[in-house]
Structure 1
Amino acid sequence: MKKIFNYKLILLVMVCFISKTTLAQTTANWTEKSAKEWADKGEWRNGFKTKLYAGIDYVEFAKQYHKNKAAWDKAFAYINNTKLDTVSPGKYLIDGDNVFSTITDANTKEYDKTMWESHRKYIDLHLMIRGKERIAVMNPATAVVTDQYDENKDVAHYDANTKGNYYIADQETLMIFFPQNAHRPVIHVDGYDKVKKLVIKIKVAQ
């Protein structure tokens, strides 16, 4: 009887420790250094091999992942376990309206034919299935709004002349855009007039 009680006590202590650790991670005061160290350690990967793009907001990634781990794990599992090159364009539910994907076949565009966008309700994960495109990223707080935020479409647009940082999106690079990351996708890369891409939407955790 005493041995059973000791086992239960040990189990209770372990559960409390795990819960305390999870809570500490969720409410952690992440810094750029600690968030990058966490991301580089790769405990979140669970077999996910694609690299993160150079401009990722590590602090926001760490915060959002720990606040909504189940949703992120489902998104990564979907990428890992789906033969994306065989999936037809369309919208696919992963976890209801919490996590869903859209696959598109699209023509890339010249820079002046693209536009800035940002979202408030959802985080965007962009991954090329076939081809390459350029994606620009900037902080919308520094830009002039041209189309006010539309809650139904979860999108706002900004002055096309706003400058940003530019990245090449390809099959080996995952782009993640949080509400503070306005982005300008589908910019033409020489040799790639048409692309097939995956966008996963993860609801922002408050």
Structure 2
Amino acid sequence: MAIIGNIYKLESFFNNKNLKVVFDYFKEALTSGTEVNERIFNLKAGAFEKVTITTDIFALEQVFHTKKREECFIESHKKYIDFQLIISGNEQMEYIDIDKLIIDKSYDKKKDLITYNLVDNTSKFLLQKNDLAIFFPDDAHIGLPLYKNSELVYKTVIKLPIEMFR
């Protein structure tokens, strides 16, 4: 049930889910001159920083070069919903339901991560600035693939406990 769209349109769609703190953080991440935006744009390529938003919610602020699909992996999570926002750059993402996959590495509770064997029958979509992809526990996804050419991407991912969404 992955959801993909423009952050500002999705914000109004989710206004009854009490996600104000999530969307307030994302708007700061997108607004030049704010503390969050400057912190992310001051990260070096390859950085992956965990930032506490509330006692239950955190963000993974990251800067990376997109890469060949064969160098990526399919993943899903059990405990958290991923809210993935592109701040700058283009990232080709892929989605597939977990029931269509074979597990490569079993659930790692500490990382909240399951990885799967790479397959070719995924749905592919391009994320650009202001695009938000939301992945639920049944949504396996591939991040980091390049679109046309490798490029530098500035991105942040909110990890929201599934219990807070229900």
After TM superposition, list the pairs within 5 Å mapping 1:38-57 onto structure 2. Answer: 49=8
Higher helix fraction: Structure 1 or Structure 2?
Answer: 1
The alignment status of 1:92 with 2:39, answered yes or no, reads: no
Structure 1 unmatched runs, 5+? 1-31, 37-47, 53-60
Deviation at 1:85, TM superposition (A): 3.6
Cα distance in 1 for residues equivalent to 2:72 and 2:9: 26
Deviation at 1:100, TM superposition (A): 0.9
Structure 2 unmatched runs, 5+? 44-48
The alignment status of 1:126 with 2:84, answered yes or no, reads: yes
Aligned residue type for 1:91: K
% identical aligned pairs: 25
The alignment status of 1:163 with 2:121, answered yes or no, reads: yes
After TM superposition, list the pairs within 5 Å mapping 1:2-17 onto structure 2. Answer: none
Aligned residue type for 1:80: K
3-state DSSP of counterpart to 1:168 = strand
Alignment RMSD, CA only?
A: 2.5
Which structure: larger Rg? 1
After TM superposition, list the pairs within 5 Å mapping 1:1-206 onto structure 2. Answer: 49=8, 69-70=17-18, 72-82=19-29, 83=34, 84-88=36-40, 89=43, 90-96=49-55, 98-205=56-163
Deviation above 6 Å: which 4+ runs of structure 1?
A: none
3-state DSSP of counterpart to 2:143 = strand
Deviation at 1:112, TM superposition (A): 0.6
Using structure 2 for the length normalisation, give the TM-score: 0.79
State the partner residue of 2:46.
Answer: none
State the partner residue of 1:58.
Answer: none
Aligned residue type for 2:98: P
3-state DSSP of counterpart to 1:160 = coil
Q: Deviations over 1:71-102 (max 9, x none)?
A: x2211111123435412442211112x21111
Q: Deviations over 1:136-189 (max 9, x none)?
A: 000011100010111111000111125210110111211000001000001101
Kept after mapping to 2: 8 A contact 1:51/1:172: no
Kept after mapping to 2: 8 A contact 1:85/1:130: no
Q: Relative CO higher for 1 or 2, CA cutoff 8 Å, sep ≥ 6? A: 2
Using structure 1 for the length normalisation, give the TM-score: 0.64
Aligned residue type for 1:92: V
Cα distance in 2 for residues equivalent to 1:78 and 1:202: 13
Kept after mapping to 2: 8 A contact 1:125/1:177: yes
